[in-house]
């Protein structure tokens, strides 16, 4: 089984299935034989997730991308809708926030800066509205906890009890939304 190893100042071995295949993250000093044993011990998990990745890649090829005009219209619609959703949930959470920015990103659905600026992916508008609310609540809760600690998730569930359901929907279907992004033009 082919894989790439990335060494860093971590404490444990970890596996990651990316667009380019299997990645093993390892602490500095980990011997190659230990990495091989780790990969072999997790062969079932790896094969299952590689199969899912390959199935999704094949399905993505069948999904037509948005035109630049459609993507612009979607971003404008998101910029119109998001401020009201953010204001609604910010009041429930009891937090303030800075700028709201809408982007078309390939890797993130939302983010919250230390200054309270919020970024959201316009592709969220292609999902059920509950998914958008799920991400808005997640990012606003970072105004109280800039981490993913148990306290952070207690606040998320207090405000949005259906968080797990809609977060799971996004994990299972998000690749279909991302497939709608126009292909990058060669430089």
| Domain-embedded: residue 184 | no
Same-domain status, 99 and 174: yes
> What is the mean predicted confidence (pLDDT) over 149-158?
97
Q: Are residues 73 and 89 in the same domain?
A: yes
Task: Please give the C-alpha separations between residue 174 and each of 1, 72, 87, 155, 156, in angstroms, as whole numbers.
Answer: 28, 19, 25, 24, 20
Q: Are 113 and 139 found together in one domain?
A: yes
pLDDT at 176 over 70: yes
CA separation for the pair 26, 141 (Å, rounded): 31
Whether 97 has a pLDDT exceeding 90, the answer reads: yes
Query: Is 102 a domain residue?
Result: yes
Global model pTM greater than 0.85? no
**Are residues 74 and 44 part of one domain?**
no
Average pLDDT, the chain: 94
Q: For the ranges 58-62, 87-91, 160-164, which has the lowest average pLDDT?
A: 58-62
Q: List helix spans (H) across 26-162.
A: 32-41, 43-61, 68-93, 129-141, 150-159
27 and 82 belong to one structural domain: no
CATH number of the domain enclosing 112: 3.30.2010.10
Name the domain boundary from 13, 34, 61: 61
Distance CA 66, CA 77 (A): 15
- Same structural domain, 78 and 161: yes
- Predicted confidence at residue 62, as pLDDT, reads 86
Report if residue 187 sits inside a domain: no
Domain that holds residue 93: 68-178
6: left (phi over 0), alpha (psi -120 to 50) or beta: beta
- Whether residues 96 and 27 share a domain: the answer is no
User: In this predicted model, what pLDDT tens digit does every residue of 125-143 receive, in sequence order?
Assistant: 999 999 999 999 999 999 9
Same structural domain, 104 and 161:
yes
pLDDT of 48: 93
Region 99-117: mean pLDDT is 94
The rounded radius of gyration (Å) of the Cα atoms in the chain is 19
Q: Band the pLDDT of 186: cuts 50, 70, 90.
A: very low
- Residues 2-27: pLDDT tens digits? 999 999 999 999 999 877 789 999 99
Domain total in the chain: 2
């Amino acid at each position: 089984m082919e894989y790439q190893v990335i060494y860093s100042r971590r404490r444990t071995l970890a596996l990651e299935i990316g667009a380019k295949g299997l990645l093993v993250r390892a602490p500095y000093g980990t011997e190659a034989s230990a990495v091989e044993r780790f990969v072999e011990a997790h062969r079932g998990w790896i094969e299952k997730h590689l199969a899912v990745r390959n199935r999704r890649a094949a399905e993505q090829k069948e999904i037509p991308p948005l035109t630049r005009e459609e993507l612009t219209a979607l971003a404008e619609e998101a910029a119109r809708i998001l401020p009201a959703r953010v204001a609604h949930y910010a009041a429930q959470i009891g937090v303030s926030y800075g700028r709201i920015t809408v982007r078309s990103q390939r890797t993130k659905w939302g983010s919250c800066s230390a200054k309270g600026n919020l970024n959201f992916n316009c592709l969220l508008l292609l999902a059920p509205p509950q998914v958008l609310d799920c991400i808005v609540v997640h990012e606003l809760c970072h105004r109280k906890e800039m981490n993913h600690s148990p306290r952070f998730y207690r606040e998320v569930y207090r405000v949005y009890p259906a968080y797990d359901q809609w977060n799971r929907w996004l994990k299972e279907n998000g690749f279909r939304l991302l497939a709608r992004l126009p292909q990058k033009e060669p430089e």
